[in-house]
Structure 1
Amino acid sequence: MDWDKLRIFHAVADAGSLTHAGDVLHLSQSAVSRQVRGLEESLGTTLFHRHARGLILTEQGEMLFEATKAMARKLDTTAARIKDSEEHVFGELKVTTTTGFGTLWLVPRLAKLYARYPDLKIDLLLEERVLDLPMREADIAIRMKEPSQADLIRRRLLNIRIRLFASKEYLDRVGTPRTMADLSPHRLICQNPATPQVSAGAVLAQTLLAQNMASTLLINSYFGVLQGVLNHVGIGILPDYLVTDFPHLVRVLPDIESAEVPVFLAFPEELRSSRRVAAFRDFVLEEIQSLRRNLGE
């Protein structure tokens, strides 16, 4: 089978248009069309339904597109391994983690990683959705639960808990609660329990919201909750890994906290020898060791 024709077919299937594929490949629309027709003739089948709005893959076209996607992923992985030098870490690394951990803990530390590897290019995907690492939606993930996908190398980094924090200024103004009953005159700042988040955090928020506090502020990210606490708006529900960067926060009701939340780092088995993955993994492990000392683990 002609590899060049397969490459052009893949670009057309991905773009859904001869014109857009031609732009990507720097070929004319007619040249792209001829190559696709030639592939269809060699296979003895139709790969696309053609209509005014673009191209739609036939059943046979879908089968071939799945094969070319797998080939493209394998080629990307191979190219990454080839580019990884024994002495120099460079190139692109796609990292995924939760919005809270990414914005509040990881991003503030990346300057140290870039100082060590200035040619590294990180594409950071912050979302609660678990991306498919074997399908190369990301190269490496930090998640708040053990990954269930097969063919992954995984390592537990630490356990965290969600707790109550406030600023000293807020507590001086409103008072420090000593029991759950003392929370009623306070304002609670937390993620809405319906917001995608670790279940332990949602359970704690639901428990505290049931206390009929005088006022609440619901925000769909821990970053927003933290800003509310730092600006003396109320008592916030926040992950304990913040104590390293915000040591002046005051913990409220020390007996009230979520269940343990495990934090895992994972990446595909096929990237075991990647220098970029190893560099990022080792950097995170170093920073986690410092965090664990601060948390008293």
Structure 2
Amino acid sequence: MDWRAVTFDWNRVRAFLVTAEEGSLSAAARALGLTQPTLGRQVEALEQELGVALFERHGRGLRPTPAGLDLLTHARRMGDGAGDLALAVAGLSDGLDGEVSVSASDIYAARLLPPILARLHSAHPGLRIEVVADNALTDLRRRAADIAVRNVRPGDPDLIGRKLRDADARLYAASSLLDRLGRPTTPEGFAGAPVVEIDGTGALRALMAGMGFPVEAMPFPYRTSNFVIAWEMVRGGHAICILDDRIGDAEPGVERILPDLPPIRFPVWLVAHRDVRRARRLRVVWDALASELR
């Protein structure tokens, strides 16, 4: 290989790759922890170095030009290689000091992780833990996080997973809302009850319809993809919503709307790259999460 021909800067390639995947300079800058002008200069420098335009304006964002799309395939391979190198470097150290990033849904990150992470920090003060609150599947191959709490089994052969438990989700409302509704004893009695919908897929409507609720007669005046916001709507007495009963049952002033309804069961998985076994600090965090979330 002629190493003299490899003259471009990886940081510039990384700036291009993340901008292409995030769709805008502002989103890419947030993902990389850089300022937007700094990231923009890196992308512009790569364009000047290669002598081609890599992006074109598309609405409020950016999309790769044909030349950018050609480069993107190679940049992704470089990104995967950089991620593998970072994982290997992490495995060279057997110390406990250093950073570990943990990805979980917003509600798990807000309600379940804090006491676990506080106990970890107390036992291992040198650990610095970043919490990535994300309801999407965080890309562990590209080091968006080191460890993730998910509700699906990993399909990537480079990832390992441990099923922690089958969790139960139930429908909840504030006691004050149930009092205003007259405390119905059947699903049919909740006609007119407000519900906060999670995302725009209609999944919660379909789920409730399957449980016998008259969803055609129930307003869905709120919608959010953020479970923390939805739970605040429940706590405030504004609407009904669904949540993991480990969180819902512990909330003062909130009740299962029909305690005898069967739960909605879903799996909880702990997922990481296979190299998690090679770095002691990652193993320590993995083991603590596996033990306490189970």
Deviation by residue 1:12-65 (Cα, 9 ceiling, x = unmatched): 43345xx969x99xxxx9xx9xxx8xxxxxxxxxxx234699xx9789976865
Equivalent residue number for residue 191 of structure 1: 198
Give the 5 Å matches for 1:2-41. 6=6, 9-15=9-15
Say if 1:152 and 1:202 are closer, same or farther in 2 by CA, change over 3 A.
farther
Equivalent residue number for residue 39 of structure 1: none
Does the CA-based 8 Å contact 2:79-2:142 persist in structure 1?
A: no
Equivalent residue number for residue 210 of structure 1: 215
Residue 280 of structure 1 pairs with residue 285 of structure 2 = yes
In 1: Cα distance, 2:75 partner to 2:172 partner: 51
In 1: Cα distance, 2:200 partner to 2:128 partner: 35
Say if 1:159 and 1:193 are closer, same or farther in 2 by CA, change over 3 A.
farther
- TM-aligned CA deviation for residue 241 of structure 1: 2.0
Does the CA-based 8 Å contact 2:172-2:248 persist in structure 1?
A: no
| Higher deviation after alignment, 262-271 or 251-260 | 251-260
In 1: Cα distance, 2:81 partner to 2:224 partner: 43
- TM-aligned CA deviation for residue 166 of structure 1: 2.2
Find 2:94's aligned residue among 57, 65, 84. 84
Equivalent residue number for residue 45 of structure 1: none
Does the CA-based 8 Å contact 1:152-1:268 persist in structure 2?
A: yes
Find 1:267's aligned residue among 262, 267, 272. 272
- TM-aligned CA deviation for residue 284 of structure 1: 1.4
Does the CA-based 8 Å contact 1:203-1:258 persist in structure 2?
A: no
Residue 180 of structure 1 pairs with residue 199 of structure 2 = no
In 2: Cα distance, 1:127 partner to 1:244 partner: 23
Larger Rg over CA atoms: 1
Which amino acid letter does the alignment assign opposite residue 268 of structure 2? V
In 2: Cα distance, 1:274 partner to 1:243 partner: 35
In 2: Cα distance, 1:7 partner to 1:279 partner: 40
In 1: Cα distance, 2:230 partner to 2:69 partner: 49
Which amino acid letter does the alignment assign opposite residue 13 of structure 2? A
Give the 5 Å matches for 1:53-68. 65=75, 68=78
1:260 partner SS: strand
1:225 partner SS: helix
Find 1:234's aligned residue among 236, 239, 245. 239
Does the CA-based 8 Å contact 1:188-1:216 persist in structure 2?
A: yes
1:94 partner SS: strand
Unaligned runs of 5+ in 2: 17-36, 56-64
Q: How many residues align?
A: 260
1:145 partner SS: coil
- TM-aligned CA deviation for residue 182 of structure 1: 1.0
In 1: Cα distance, 2:140 partner to 2:54 partner: 36
1:256 partner SS: coil
In 2: Cα distance, 1:182 partner to 1:67 partner: 56
Equivalent residue number for residue 27 of structure 2: none
Using the size of structure 2 for normalisation, the TM-score is 0.71
Equivalent residue number for residue 105 of structure 1: 112
Equivalent residue number for residue 163 of structure 1: 170
Does the CA-based 8 Å contact 1:178-1:253 persist in structure 2?
A: yes
Equivalent residue number for residue 26 of structure 2: none
Equivalent residue number for residue 42 of structure 1: none
Does the CA-based 8 Å contact 1:192-1:205 persist in structure 2?
A: no
Identical columns (%) = 24
Say if 1:112 and 1:182 are closer, same or farther in 2 by CA, change over 3 A.
same
Say if 1:219 and 1:20 are closer, same or farther in 2 by CA, change over 3 A.
closer
2:177 partner SS: helix
In 1: Cα distance, 2:73 partner to 2:190 partner: 60
In 2: Cα distance, 1:2 partner to 1:190 partner: 57
